[in-house]
Amino acid sequence: MEPSVSALTRLFATLRAIHRGWRSVFLTLLSLLGLGLLSTPAQAVPAFARQTGQACIACHVGGFGPQLTPFGRAFKLDGYTLSDGKSHIPLSAMLVSSFTHTTEDQTPFYNGMHGNDNFVALQQASIFLAGRLTDHIGMMGQATYAQTAEPANLAWDNTDIRYAHNYTLGGTSGIFGVSVNNNPTVSDVWNTVPAWQYGFMTSPISGGVPFTPMMAGLGSTVLGTTAYTLIDNHWYIEGGAYHSLSPYWGNLLHGGYGGITGYAPYLRANYSTTVGQSTYEGGLIGMSMKPPSATGSSGTDRVNDLGIDGTYQFINGDVHSVTVNGLYMQEKANYDQSLGVYPSDTAKTLNLNVAYWIRNTYGATIQYFNVNGTAYLGSNVQSNGVVWELDWNPFGQNWANPEKNLRLGLQYTTYNKLNGTSLNASANNSLYLYMWFAI
């Protein structure tokens, strides 16, 4: 069935209006956020549960957290606009408290840190403003306070404002959307990409993967616009560009700035399909960036990140779920501007994780990570290790209001090699206990 001329006219008029007005709208929202008044979801957002009338298990594997179900992916791609038709306050909050013990003492890096056995009452305290703005526009945003940040401030966190519209062209149907966001891959719906990959919670003291590609570290320091389409519920294509925040906005929002110069193009493509209770996904992801100059000479430094990812997910109602995520990325850095210092670097990262949940109450995850090569003007980043995690949602989905969540997690990270050497790598092994509450 071909779309009518009037429908296409309305769609194009809407897109032109977004093109003209998104900057002023977005900067107004940023101003409010900078004052601590704006916030919306990045991990698990109970405001979305209230908006849709669905419990958190509808969108999130394990009851809550960033790992999405097929329904959760569809809700995000459709612009966070699905609603039960009732009025709801689009606010949520999240609190994470934690304790970390390392094999050997660590050098304190924030005010109040001990050499070992650190309790962090406010590892993360976030406020959220999330949900439907119009029939085709919705948002998720977040402001976060972290006790371990220096200085500790309420800062701009993951934010995604998007327009989405369904279309039909002949025998092809799909979704077309535009996302304005502050973190490359935060617009993605798969838990392989840097913004959403495991670990969902990691110790601020020690633990997790010691090196990540440059694109994974740009969150909150950039602003970008991407356009995407999902064709026949299988083929997904997204492309756009990011630019560093200005010093004014970076300081106002406490997000930082200057991570890249100029515009950095971003591309994402994948194919997914569902067979019975199983979902399969495979795709590519890439970004090309110009980092700040390492020297004052002429020329252009460039960092290219290119990755391949895959997902398998099995969900048997609310009884059992199994998810396997993998991402392999290569980062190639060429220092034309710094040629006399160091010509180039190549770093390769592999992240694999398997998670199992029973009745969205008891969960277990194991992650293997491996990093090879050099980065940042020749530093040796070769590292590998294993992360083990057990999770318990003690109330499951039995609360009177099922959008409220509590999770207790126990995580142990072991390093076989760290930053190029096996010597004393295990000194950084960490036992991490956390409490994660969302409402």
pLDDT tens by residue, 78-121:
999 999 888 888 899 999 999 999 999 999 999 999 999 999 99
Which of the two residues, 159 and 19, has the higher pLDDT score? 159
* pTM of the predicted protein model: 0.86
How many domains would you assign to the chain? 1
CB 413 within 8 A of CB 385: yes
CB 378 within 8 A of CB 294: no
CATH code of the domain covering residue 148 = 2.40.160.10
User: How many CA atoms, within 13 angstroms, populate the side-chain half-sphere of residue 295?
Assistant: 15
Question: How far is CA 318 from each of CA 61, 311, 322, 396, rounded to the nearest angstrom?
Answer: 9, 20, 12, 11
| Integer Cα distance of 391 and 410 in angstroms | 6
Question: How far is CA 268 from each of CA 146, 329, 432, rounded to the nearest angstrom?
Answer: 31, 13, 33
User: Per-residue DSSP letters for 283-345?
Assistant: EEEEEEE-PPPSSSSSS-EEEEEEEEEEEEEEEETTTEEEEEEEEEEEEEEEESTTTTT--EE
The answer, yes or no, to whether residue 272 has pLDDT greater than 60, is yes
Looking at residue 16, what is its pLDDT? 47
Token pair in block for residue 37: 């008044």
Tell me: the pLDDT tens digits for 128-169?
A: 999 999 999 999 999 999 999 888 889 999 999 999 999 999
| Integer Cα distance of 174 and 32 in angstroms | 34
| Integer Cα distance of 431 and 119 in angstroms | 12
Range of the domain at 326: 5-438
Give residues with Cβ within 8 angstroms of 422, minimum separation 6: 416
| Integer Cα distance of 139 and 161 in angstroms | 4
Based on its alpha-carbon atoms, the radius of gyration of the chain, rounded to whole angstroms, reads 22
